[in-house]
Every structure is written in structure tokens, then in C-alpha cells.
Amino acid sequence: MIDLIKKLPKAELHLHIEGTLEPELMLELAQRNSIDIPYSTVEDIEKAYNFTDLQSFLDIYYEGASVLIKEEDFYSLTWEYLLKCKENNIVHTEIFFDPQTHTQRGIPFYTVIKGITEALNDAKDELGITSQLIMCFLRHLSQEECFKTLNEAIEFKHDIIGIGLDSSEIGNPPSKFKEVFKKAREEGFKIVAHAGEEADCSYIVEALDLLKVERIDHGVQVINSKSLIERLIKEQIPLTVCPNSNIELKVFESYKKHNIKELLDLGLNVTVNSDDPAYFKGYLNQNFINIYKNLNLSKEDIVKLVRNSFNASFIDEELKKIYLEKVDKILESF
């Protein structure tokens, strides 16, 4: 089964590019850009990755991102993730980026998007990996700040397929951003949002009703509302679940207590993703392996999760069909 997990082509739909910053690259960029970080070795950094909840992670994650200054830094960050995609057999990836993490430090929007998109274009040519970019608003900031960021993004519309919402969830509900998402929809962006990661089901309902999301990022708290489960099944709204993240951020006590298998068995449209793999002990295959080992997943479960990843993606129907055929081809040999 582990061999099957590794060999199946997969799509990743919930991945923060800033969350792929490996300790080695963090140290290298800190030195190259003369940025002070409170670590001098990889071991120092790994010791600090001991999270108690989402906020305890975000504090360290934003500090890590402070070493990203130049276009080439964003290129290196993205290229290293794309090499991991190759290793993990991720053939299509929909990447979140958080421009406000950088523009708030005085880095131009253009620097961020140019570095990332150059790497994505090279990956298409050299590695055969297709990709889309989703720009996230930081929900701990004001809606007014998000309007400014959206206005900057419009110029790069051709490079950005969608708009998402991330950062500190509790206390920053989707309703806080209703107007800016309305404008994003009018501009033709697809909409997703982190909801029901730590906060209750009302955040998922608001994301659906007020932001009009096409996918829910995380969404594992749906388990507490029977009516919402029924709605998500009926509408087949995809959930981009991130098992390693949920364990590292103490959303669940252990892999054995994770509810992804329960959600799948209920008929929800669930996918597996790595969220911030450099911080959460593993890339996509490791997420699959952890849930496979601890939750008694069958071959059918794995295949369903992989097929869901393509079906829930923003790629066109033609390419979707090509990828799903590649999945079938691998299955023939198992």
C-alpha cells in the first residue's frame, strides 16, 4: 500500500508556499540577506517546532518568512517545493501564497509573485508539473488592508486563479471579509477559505453563505454538525484536510483520533494535503502514509482520496481526465 501511495499521481490543493521553507534554506537566506533570526543551526530550528495550537505555529511561521526578501528567494522557495512534488508524485498543485506577510515588511507584491511564478513556469517545462496560484488574505488583518491587497492582485489576475483566507481563525470569522470577497468574486476569482480548522461549524457556514467558497480548507470540525455534514455531502463541497498539520497543531490528539476516515465514510468529498510540510514533519506522501497506518485505510479509500484530489481541483475537464487516466494506469499494475 505504501508503494501504491508513492506511485499514484496526486494533486495537492492545500499548501502554503511559505510553509515549505526548510530550515536549511531559512538559515541560508538569513545569512544571505543579513536577517536576524533566533537560530543558528537546523537543530535549533527543529527544537522550536513544538506547537500547542495554530497561533503558536503562526508566530514561528511568520518569523521564518522574514528571511524572504528578493525575487530569487521566492524562486528558490518555490522551486524546492516543486522538487518535493516530483519526489511525491504530485503532478498538479494549487499553491497558497500570503502576500501581506511580505508587503507588510516592505517587500513589493511584484517581487513575491514574480519569484513564485517563474519557478512554476520552469516546473511546467522541466518537471511536467502543472500548478495554480491562490492568494490568501491574512484574517488577523483588517478588511481594508485586504482590499488594498486585492487591488494589487488584479494586475496579476492571469497568474492567480483564486482567493483564500488563512491565519488566526478564532475571532476572525469569514463575515469580517464579506465585502472584499464579493469584489474578488466580481473580478472572476475562485473562492476558498480556511474554516473549521480550530473554530466551530458557524465559520464553515459563513464561508459557504457569505464568501461563497467552492472548497473548504480543513473543515474537520464539520463532524459536530449533522445538518452541515448533510449539506456538504449534498453539495459535494470539497474539504482539503491536512492530517499532519492537525496533529502538530493539536486539533486531534493522535493520528488514531483523526476523523478523516469517518468523514470519507460519511460520503464527504475529502482530500489529503500537507499544509506547511517543512513545519509539520512531512510532505504529501507522509500524510497519506500516516493516516493509512493509523486509520486502517483500504486501497479503495486511498484511491478515492487521490481521485478526489483531481476532481476537487481547479484544472479544466480535459486535463482532469488525463490525470485520472494516469491514476487508472497505475492501478492496473497493482
Catalytic residues: 197
Please list, in sequence order, all residues whose beta carbon lies within 8 angstroms of the beta carbon of residue 203, skipping any fewer than 6 positions away.
169, 173, 174, 195, 196, 221
Instruction: Give the Cα separation of 102 and 175 in Å (integer).
Output: 25
Nearest residue (CB) to ligand ADE, 9 versus 196 = 196
What, of Zn ion, ligand ADE, none, does residue 19 touch, CB below 5 to 8 Å by kind? ligand ADE
Least distance to ligand ADE from the beta carbon of 42, Å? 21
Least distance to Zn ion from the beta carbon of 182, Å? 23
Burial per residue of 110-128, b for 16 or more beta-carbon CB atoms within 10 angstroms, e otherwise: ebbbbbbbbbbeebeeeee
22 binds Zn ion (CB under 5 A): no
Nearest residue (CB) to Zn ion, 39 versus 49 = 49
Q: Which of 232, 193, 198, 228 is nearest to 211 (CA)?
A: 193
Nearest residue (CB) to Zn ion, 73 versus 275 = 275
Q: What is the DSSP code string of 135-194?
A: EEEETTS-HHHHHHHHHHHHTTGGG--EEEEES--TT--GGGGHHHHHHHHHTT-EEEEE
Nearest residue to Zn ion, scored by beta-carbon proximity: 275
What, of ligand ADE, Zn ion, none, does residue 278 touch, CB below 5 to 8 Å by kind? none
Instruction: Give the Cα separation of 216 and 103 in Å (integer).
Output: 26
Least distance to ligand ADE from the beta carbon of 76, Å? 19
Least distance to ligand ADE from the beta carbon of 195, Å? 10
Nearest residue (CB) to ligand ADE, 100 versus 131 = 100
Nearest residue (CB) to Zn ion, 27 versus 97 = 97
Instruction: Give the Cα separation of 71 and 306 in Å (integer).
Output: 33
Least distance to ligand ADE from the beta carbon of 330, Å? 30
Least distance to Zn ion from the beta carbon of 245, Å? 7
Contacts of Zn ion in 86-115 (CB under 5 A): none
Q: Which of 47, 5, 44 is nearest to 283 (CA)?
A: 5
* Residues lying near ligand ADE in the complex (CB under 6 A): 16, 19, 54, 166-167, 194, 197, 245, 275-276
303-309's contacts with Cβ under 8 Å and 24+ in sequence apart are 303/8, 303/327, 303/331, 304/264, 305/264, 305/270, 305/271, 305/272, 306/8, 306/9, 306/10, 308/238, 308/269, 308/270, 308/271, 309/10, 309/11, 309/12, 309/13, 309/271, 309/272
What, of Zn ion, ligand ADE, none, does residue 313 touch, CB below 5 to 8 Å by kind? none
What, of ligand ADE, Zn ion, none, does residue 197 touch, CB below 5 to 8 Å by kind? ligand ADE
Task: Using CB under 5 A, pick the residue from 248, 275, 288, 297 that binds Zn ion.
Answer: 275
What, of Zn ion, ligand ADE, none, does residue 66 touch, CB below 5 to 8 Å by kind? none
What, of Zn ion, ligand ADE, none, does residue 246 touch, CB below 5 to 8 Å by kind? none
Nearest residue (CB) to Zn ion, 71 versus 275 = 275
- List of residues contacting Zn ion (CB under 5 A): 275
